[in-house]
């Protein structure tokens, strides 16, 4: 599978794993402290070929994603669930630990970030659907993040992530109904 866009990853091990799964070029951030030179390369890549941000499903990965989103709007985003990014014997979480199939599926389920602002799904709806507050909210957010390919979010991030990728209330409700049916 050939990828036209340049994939932004955290490090060399991520690049090796990506190149085993797809034919693509990468930019490595070298960690969560992204300098101006790296951001300039990412901006240039976005203007010439497009960018896919594919960071680890952990706090530093989300920090990198946020930094890039602020500096380079309009990027595409690929997400891996934590369960598919765990190292051997449960040590470490990262893109470098994912299987070829998991990488390919994540890249097939891309989300485009939109610059136009969409009305957010009301907070009350997210509470009603058990995604914020309540004993199973975290598990439901994990599952919906995997199902919609938007990654895991905490309660505060969920509304923004849904808005950022233009996921409508109807799409969210449809996904939750399917997930609830799978549990039965």
> Residues, the chain, total?
184
Q: Based on the domain organization, do 14 and 44 belong to the same domain? A: yes
Q: Based on the domain organization, do 122 and 109 belong to the same domain? A: no
Q: Based on the domain organization, do 97 and 121 belong to the same domain? A: no
Q: Whole domain around residue 58: which residue ranges?
A: 1-113
Q: Based on the domain organization, do 3 and 94 belong to the same domain? A: yes
pLDDT value for 46: 94
Q: Based on the domain organization, do 107 and 128 belong to the same domain? A: no
- Assess contact for 145 and 126: CB atoms under 8 A: no
Q: Give pTM, 2 decimals.
A: 0.75
- Show which of 85, 113, 141 is a domain's final residue: 113
Tokens describing residue 164: 């950022």
- Assess contact for 29 and 54: CB atoms under 8 A: no
Q: Based on the domain organization, do 44 and 121 belong to the same domain? A: no
Nearest to 24 by CA among 139, 83, 108, 80: 108
Q: How many domains would you assign to the chain? A: 2
pLDDT in tens, 113-169: 766 667 889 999 999 999 998 888 999 999 898 888 888 888 888 998 898 888 899
For residues 38-54, give the mean pLDDT. Answer: 94
- Assess contact for 151 and 145: CB atoms under 8 A: yes
Q: Based on the domain organization, do 97 and 132 belong to the same domain? A: no
- Show which of 113, 128, 163 is a domain's final residue: 113
Q: Based on the domain organization, do 129 and 108 belong to the same domain? A: no
Q: Based on the domain organization, do 12 and 72 belong to the same domain? A: yes
- Show which of 69, 91, 113 is a domain's final residue: 113
Q: Based on the domain organization, do 120 and 109 belong to the same domain? A: no
pLDDT in tens, 55-104: 999 989 989 999 999 999 889 999 998 888 888 776 788 999 999 999 99
- Give CA–CA dist 124/121, Å, rounded: 8
Q: Based on the domain organization, do 19 and 63 belong to the same domain? A: yes
The domain that contains 42 carries what CATH number? Answer: 3.40.1360.10
Task: Name every residue whose Cβ is closer than 8 Å to that of residue 19 and which is 6 or more positions away in sequence.
Answer: 26
Nearest to 9 by CA among 122, 126, 94, 69: 94
């Amino acid at each position: 599978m050939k990828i036209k866009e340049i994939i932004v990853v955290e490090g060399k091990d991520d690049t090796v794993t990506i190149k085993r799964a797809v034919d693509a070029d990468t930019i490595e951030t070298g960690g969560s402290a992204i300098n101006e030179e790296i951001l300039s390369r990412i901006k240039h890549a976005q203007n010439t070929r497009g960018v896919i941000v594919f960071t680890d499903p952990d706090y530093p990965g989300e920090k990198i994603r946020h930094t890039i989103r602020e500096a380079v709007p309009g990027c595409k985003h690929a997400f891996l669930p934590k369960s598919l990014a765990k190292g051997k014997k449960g040590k470490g979480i990262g893109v470098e630990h994912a299987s070829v199939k998991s990488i390919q599926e994540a890249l097939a389920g891309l989300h485009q970030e939109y610059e136009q602002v969409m009305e957010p799904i009301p907070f009350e709806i997210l509470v009603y659907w058990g995604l914020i507050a309540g004993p199973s909210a975290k598990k439901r957010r994990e599952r919906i993040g995997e199902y919609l390919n938007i990654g895991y979010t905490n309660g505060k991030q969920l509304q923004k992530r849904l808005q950022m990728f233009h996921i409508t209330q109807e799409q969210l409700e449809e996904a939750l109904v399917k997930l609830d049916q799978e549990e039965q």
